[in-house]
Structure 1
Amino acid sequence: MIANKIRVLIVDDSAVIRKIITKSLKSSDQIEVVGYAVDGEEAANSVDLLVPDVVILDTEMPKINGIQALKKIRENHPDLPIIVFGSHAHSDSEAAVEAYSVGASDCVAKPDHANISISELSRVIEGELISKIIKHAGQRVFRKQLNLRKASSNTQLDVALNSENQNERTYLEHLSGVRAICIGSSTGGPMALIELLKQVRPTLNIPIFIVQHMPEGFTTSLATRLDAISNAEVKEAEHGEIAIPGKIYIARGGLHMTLIKVGEDVAIHLNSKAPENNCRPSVDVLFRSASQVYGSAVLAIILTGMGSDGLHGCHVIAEKKGLIFVQDEQSSVVWGMPGSVSNAGLASKVMSINGIAEQINLCKLDLA
Structure 2
Amino acid sequence: MTSSADPYRVMVVDDSAVIRGLLTRALEQDPTIEVVASVSNGQMALNQLPRQPVDVVVLDIEMPVMDGLTALPQLLSLKPGLQVIMASTLTRKNADVSLRALRAGAADYVAKPSSGGELHSADAFKRELTDKVKALASAARGGRSVGQRSVKPTATAPQRPASGSASGATPVKLRDPSTQMPEVLAIGSSTGGPQALFKLLGDLKGALRLPVLITQHMPATFTTLLAEHLGRASGMECHEGRDGEPLQAGTIYVAPGDWHMTVASEGTKRFIQLNQNPPENFCRPAVDPMLRSLAPIYGPRLQAVILTGMGSDGAKGCEAVVAAGGQVVAQDEASSVVWGMPGAVATRGLCTAVLPIGEISGYLRRKVLRSAA
* 1:284 CA displacement: 1.0
CA 1:37 to 1:232, structure 2 compared with 1: closer, same or farther past 3 Å?
A: same
Q: Secondary structure at the match of 1:75?
A: coil
CA 1:24 to 1:280, structure 2 compared with 1: closer, same or farther past 3 Å?
A: closer
Match for residue 151 of structure 1? Answer: 151
Equivalent in 108, 113, 117 of residue 111 of structure 2: 108
- Give per-residue Cα distances to partners, 1:17-58, cap 9 Å, x unaligned: 225642797699968984533344467568846x88xx6421
Scaled by the length of structure 2, the TM-score of the pair is 0.74
* 1:210 CA displacement: 0.3
CA 1:153 to 1:74, structure 2 compared with 1: closer, same or farther past 3 Å?
A: farther
Aligned ranges for residues 3-152 of structure 1 at < 5 Å?
A: 9=10, 11-12=12-13, 14=15, 17-19=16-18, 21-22=20-21, 34-38=35-39, 39-41=44-46, 48=53, 56-59=58-61, 60=63, 62=66, 65-66=71-72, 69=75, 75=81, 83-86=85-88, 90-92=91-93, 93-101=95-103, 102-108=105-111, 123=115, 128=120, 130-136=122-128, 139=131, 147-152=147-152
Measure the CA separation in 2 of the matches of 1:253 and 1:47.
37
CA 1:248 to 1:73, structure 2 compared with 1: closer, same or farther past 3 Å?
A: farther
- Give per-residue Cα distances to partners, 1:138-169, cap 9 Å, x unaligned: 6469989972412217479247653xxx5xxx
Measure the CA separation in 2 of the matches of 1:103 and 1:266.
37
* 1:106 CA displacement: 3.3
CA 1:292 to 1:218, structure 2 compared with 1: closer, same or farther past 3 Å?
A: same
Q: How many equivalent pairs are there? A: 332
Tell me if structure 2 keeps the 8 A contact 1:287–1:317.
yes
Letter in 2 for 1:299: Q
Match for residue 173 of structure 1? Answer: 179
Give percent identity, aligned residues only.
Answer: 31
Matched, 1:217 2:221: yes
Scaled by the length of structure 1, the TM-score of the pair is 0.75
Tell me if structure 2 keeps the 8 A contact 1:203–1:246.
no
* 1:342 CA displacement: 1.5
- Give per-residue Cα distances to partners, 1:88-130, cap 9 Å, x unaligned: x6344431113445455433369xxxxxxxxxx7x16796484
* 1:294 CA displacement: 0.8
Question: Mind listing any 5+ residue stretches in structure 1 that lack a counterpart?
Answer: 1-6, 111-120
Match for residue 118 of structure 1? Answer: none
* 1:320 CA displacement: 1.7
Question: Mind listing any 5+ residue stretches in structure 2 that lack a counterpart?
Answer: 1-7, 139-144, 163-171
Equivalent in 291, 300, 303 of residue 304 of structure 2: 300
Taking only aligned residues, the RMSD between alpha carbons, in angstroms, comes to 3.9
Measure the CA separation in 1 of the matches of 2:123 and 2:47.
26
Match for residue 279 of structure 1? Answer: 283
* 1:296 CA displacement: 1.5
* 1:297 CA displacement: 1.1
